[in-house]
């Protein structure tokens, strides 16, 4: 009888502990202010949807709890840092995982960067080298695409509206696809096809998974799955084509192919990079140019530095590295190249068109 009583008490305590842990109201981040999950499975995803966007959700969260806050993305605890000073205190140059990458892989139902620390570190280095080498190898391409877009803008009357977001997305699609996947995307039709599939997948990542509407709509789900399958098929063909061969143009996939990765890892990493880079590049260029056009002081400083660094000479990677205000991340190369080609004569004209 005593043994049974001990067993019953132990079982009851374990049951209570499980309820306290699993029930959303009791799942909190120890020592970090924030909110508890509203649903056991989805965490605070309903709150994000109700806020209108992740950005609005985080703004409201930081206003309520301060510069460091926590929330639940599904069953995963997320800590958000809301100021640059706090971010600097927590930067870890040796980190081997990227939360954004982990989230995308989870939504795409890919492996979330499995493996030990050394394997994760190796994959991180491969991706970093892939970005650096593809930027250097495709510098002339980026300059050409930038000049084509800038010439198009300069052909507009000063009073004509410039659809900046649309143009930057097109520029990002053309540049990223060729840098990641090679000369196949010199064909505009291939870029258009990629952009269509990319848009389908990205829109569902941003909404369909978060609010659960994708699984409830069979038509949308099939469109999403077909688009993702077509993107994966293109990547598989390019991976197969690049293996064991040398090309004059180094692309991002080459760095992964030459690394010690299997085909599935190459596919996942190149897919994540392709999806995210197009959006990040487009948004970065859009906001950088937008802020530049509304600040005459920044225009003046940038113009003076460009004259000092470049003079009447050509735009080169070596000289770009000498530009102090714009040298904080590799992707800013897109922005630098975009405005530098004819900046000596057109900076103010672009500003007038954008205002």
At 197-206, the pLDDT tens digits run 999 998 887 6
CATH class entry, domain 133-352: mainly alpha
69 bridge partner residues: 80
Residue 122 pLDDT: 79
What residues in the chain have per-residue pLDDT under 70? 1-30, 91-103, 111-117, 206, 208-212, 325-355
Q: What is the pLDDT of residue 177?
A: 94
Q: What is the structure's pLDDT at 61?
A: 93
**In the numeric block, which tokens belong to residue 81?**
């840092």
Residue 101 C-beta-side C-alpha neighbours within 13 Å: 20
What pLDDT is recorded for position 64? 92
Q: What is the pLDDT of residue 98?
A: 60
Q: Global pTM?
A: 0.69
pLDDT for 110: 77
| Residue 92: per-residue pLDDT | 63
Sequence spans of domains, the chain: 133-352
Instruction: Quote the pLDDT of residue 222.
Output: 92
């Amino acid at each position: 009888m005593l043994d049974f009583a001990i067993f019953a008490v132990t079982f009851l305590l374990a049951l209570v502990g499980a309820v306290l842990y699993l029930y959303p109201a009791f799942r909190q981040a120890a020592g970090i202010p924030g909110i508890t999950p509203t649903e056991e499975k989805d965490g605070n995803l309903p709150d994000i949807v109700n806020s209108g966007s992740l950005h609005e959700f985080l703004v409201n969260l930081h206003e309520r709890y301060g510069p460091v806050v926590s929330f639940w993305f599904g069953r995963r605890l997320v800590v958000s840092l809301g100021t640059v000073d706090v971010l600097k205190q927590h930067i870890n140059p040796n980190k081997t995982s990227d939360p954004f990458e982990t989230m995308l892989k989870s939504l795409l139902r890919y492996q979330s960067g499995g493996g030990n620390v050394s394997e994760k570190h190796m994959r991180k280095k491969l991706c970093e080298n892939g970005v650096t080498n593809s930027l250097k190898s495709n510098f002339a391409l980026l300059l050409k695409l930038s000049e084509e877009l800038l010439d198009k803008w300069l052909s507009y009357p000063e009073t004509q509206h410039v659809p900046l977001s649309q143009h930057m997305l097109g520029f990002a699609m053309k540049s990223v696809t060729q840098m990641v996947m090679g000369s196949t995307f010199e064909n505009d039709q291939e870029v258009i096809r990629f952009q269509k599939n990319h848009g389908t997948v990205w829109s569902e990542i941003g909404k369909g998974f978060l609010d659960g509407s994708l699984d409830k709509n069979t038509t949308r789900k099939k469109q999403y799955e077909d688009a993702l399958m077509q993107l994966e098929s293109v990547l598989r063909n390019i991976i197969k084509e690049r293996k064991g061969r040398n090309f004059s143009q180094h692309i991002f996939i080459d760095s992964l192919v030459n690394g010690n990765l299997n085909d599935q890892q190459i596919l996942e990493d190149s897919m994540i990079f392709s999806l995210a880079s197009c959006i990040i590049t487009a948004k970065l260029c859009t906001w950088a140019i937008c802020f530049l056009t509304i600040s005459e002081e920044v225009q003046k400083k940038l113009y003076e530095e460009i004259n000092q660094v470049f003079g009447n000479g050509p735009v080169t990677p070596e000289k770009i590295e000498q530009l102090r205000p714009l040298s904080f991340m590799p992707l800013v190369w897109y922005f630098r190249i975009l405005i530098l080609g004819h900046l000596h004569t057109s900076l103010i004209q672009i500003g007038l068109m954008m205002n």
